[in-house]
Amino acid sequence: MKRIIKFIAYFLLLFLIYVAAILIHGGLTDYQPEAIIQLESERESPQMVIEDSTFSLLIWNIGYGGLGAEADFFYHGSGFFVAGDNMVRPDRVLSEKFMNGIYRTIEDTPSDFILLQEVDFESKRSYYTNQFEKIGSLLPAYSACKATNFKVSRVPAPVLQPWQAYGQCYSGLATYSKYAMSDITRYQLPGSFSWPNKPFMLDRCLQVSRYNLKNGKELVLVNIHNTAYEKDGKRKLEQLAFLKDLLIPEYEKGNYVIAGGDWNQSPPGLPRDYFKKVDLTGFSNLNIPEKLFPEDWRWIYDPSTPTNRSNKDPFVPKETFTSLIDFFLISPNIRAVSVKSIDQQFAFSDHQPVRMEVEID
């Protein structure tokens, strides 16, 4: 009995040392970006001015090429400590299948502006593929810029399976454009997580790119990926307030403003369970407040097709919970000509791409 007790004591001691080492290492290597960072294009388009009055935009959270229809995600399944039967990451063959589908979709959906979320630059979960560079190679005449929002040297989860740890993550937002970017800025969003979670969570941000128009004004384009993991909705409200304070003055200057991406909330007036009625007890702040922006600002989305699915389990049509959380916000001086969510049955990501065409005054 004494040997058993001693063994358990040694095991607990080693586990505590392991957890302490994780927290110390996480704290020492924590990515702490400045509130405002000026970014630079890594590739530049020769078209310096937008001459046309109509143009198209594509938004898509590509889920780092790891969350297509066959995939589930351990964090939403068995939990933070043990992966169980859930995937920490897909195998390489499945990962390549998802990414090849993403590459084909981008090539087959011509758009003047492409705003992507969860693009890996160098992460264990995507086998250290530089997805930003690969997608850029498919768009040789486009400007390209990335904004980091997830930079962790080692995500330790699942904690009780260190040999299967999520590992290094270096990822973020990516914007591609047929036009030259006159300015690109990364804005840190408010509402970070507290310790000990903070070093291992995303540092949410906005990627704001500017383009010169022939009328002397600017197109202000915002690539957005708001907070996901929270129960009270406080961070989301703080981030929406931040966005409003940033965008309203731009419109008042006479500029044209478009924000698009993964909001992790449904648009005003469209319930989270619009496509499949479920018990939403425990969820909060499910919709963007209806009076957040003035009435002449427009939320643009396609209500016929969901853009996000639960990744707790692999996707099953008509059974898996789906919602609409990927869409656009446009200023009053822009008119939406069309918007269409591309229904892929979540073959390549747990989100589906959305394409919009607009016209400016």
**289 in helix, strand or coil?**
coil
pLDDT value of position 48: 92
Print the SS3 string covering 205-245: EEEEEEEEECCCCEEEEEEEECCCCCCCCHHHHHHHHHHHH
pTM (2 d.p.): 0.93
Counting DSSP H helices and E strands in the chain, the numbers are 4, 16
316 vs 32: which has the higher pLDDT: 316
Identify the CA nearest to 287 among candidates 317, 309, 265.
Answer: 265
On the question of pLDDT at 198 being above 60, the answer is: yes
Calpha distance 156→154 (Å, rounded): 6
Calpha distance 37→55 (Å, rounded): 28
Mean residue pLDDT of the chain comes to 89
Share of the chain above pLDDT 70, in %: 89
Identify the CA nearest to 198 among candidates 73, 27, 81, 36.
Answer: 27
Amino acid identity for residue 337 in this structure: V
**In the chain, domain spans:** 1-30, 34-360
pLDDT value of position 361: 79
On the question of pLDDT at 124 being above 60, the answer is: yes
Comparing 156-160, 238-242, 304-308, 335-339, the range with the smallest average pLDDT is 156-160
Q: How confident is the model over 220-272, as pLDDT tens digits?
A: 999 999 988 776 778 889 999 999 999 999 999 999 999 999 999 999 999 88
Calpha distance 150→172 (Å, rounded): 6
Comparing 76-85, 181-190, 251-260, the range with the smallest average pLDDT is 76-85
Domain 34-360 has CATH 3.90.1150.10: no
Q: Is 173 left (phi over 0), alpha (psi -120 to 50) or beta?
A: beta
Structure tokens at 317: 């049509």
